[in-house]
Amino acid sequence: MLRRRLRRSGSKVVEMVRVMVGRPLSRFFSRHHTPSETKALEVRNLTRAGEFSDIGFSVCNGEVVGLSGLIGAGRTEVARAIFGLARLDSGEVRVRGELVQIDSPEEALAKGIGYVPEERRAQGLFLPLSIERNISMTALPSISPLGFVRRAREKSLAEALSKRLDVRGAQISAPVVRLSGGNQQKVVLAKALALKPDILILDEPTRGVDIGAKAEIYRLMRELTGRGLGILMISSELQEVLGMSDRVLVMREGRIAGEVGGERMTEQDIMALATGSRSAHTGGAHELAH
């Protein structure tokens, strides 16, 4: 009886999604290209005491690599360190094959790394400022020759990205606080894309947004990877991780416990690695020895 009710409930959700976005949400998970073998980002032996240890992985051009795990596993901490928001104790980061030293977000942006943080309101936006100013903030060097902001360039950039991401709800001159959660998230994404990064780190990209905004964010991710951009995506939604990722790295207690890939990867594979279950060796999961 309970299973029957759950199936009915699931069917209603699927139908609601279809009505709201015009097609099943799963359609936005489909993969239309094969990632390149060229590495956009490679990290080796990253360690920060008390948070994570011996982290190593790569993200290729045109690839979405999911970073999964239980709360407290160290996923966000790794992303923040790569972006220069936290200092590493050891390890190395390579961007397009070049060994780089990143000690600040400004240096990460200069190297072609974009970042969408977990908490958009607290970490990703200046709420009293306009939509236009929020979007253009990361691109100030390109729109401010000789230290003076060229308003025409700023407006043109903001309008183009706002249109591309379909930001709705207010004119770009309005404070970003007036937008809905989904549209605020689009502004954070636009801000990250303003400098045309080669690598994009997304931490919980669809948290707290409605179904329509989710579908649009998934569409954008596939558009970006289709153009060769590499994406590292952190998400607590297993359906999202499985649907959007070409490969999934699973963290447990500050380390990468294993990798899941291919058509056979399942929620059970991910949870087995995240919890340390021996069944991690089944299906599409591969457990890494440490």
> Which range scores top for mean pLDDT: 141-150, 211-220, 281-290?
211-220
pTM above 0.75, yes or no: yes
CB atoms closer than 10 angstroms to residue 152: 9
Q: Where are the alpha helices (DSSP H) in 245-285?
A: 267-275
Q: What is the mean pLDDT of residues 59-82?
A: 97
Tell me which amino acid residue 104 is: S
| Domains of the chain (ranges, CATH numbers) | 38-112+197-290 (3.40.50.300), 122-196 (no CATH)
Answer yes or no: is pLDDT of 10 > 70. Answer: no
Q: How confident is the model at residue 30 (pLDDT cuts 50, 70, 90)?
A: low
43-52, 180-189, 245-254, 271-280: which has the minimum mean pLDDT?
271-280
Contacts of 166 by beta carbon, 8 Å cutoff, 6+ apart: 186, 216
Q: Where are the alpha helices (DSSP H) in 175-266?
A: 181-193, 211-226, 238-244
Report pLDDT digits (tens) over 171-187: 999 999 999 999 999 99
The residue behind tokens 């990703």 is: 124
* Strand 90-95 versus strand 98-100 pairing type: antiparallel
Dmax of the chain from CA atoms?
A: 70
CA atoms of 130 and 252, how far apart (whole Å): 40
Mean pLDDT across the chain? 87
CA atoms of 100 and 189, how far apart (whole Å): 24
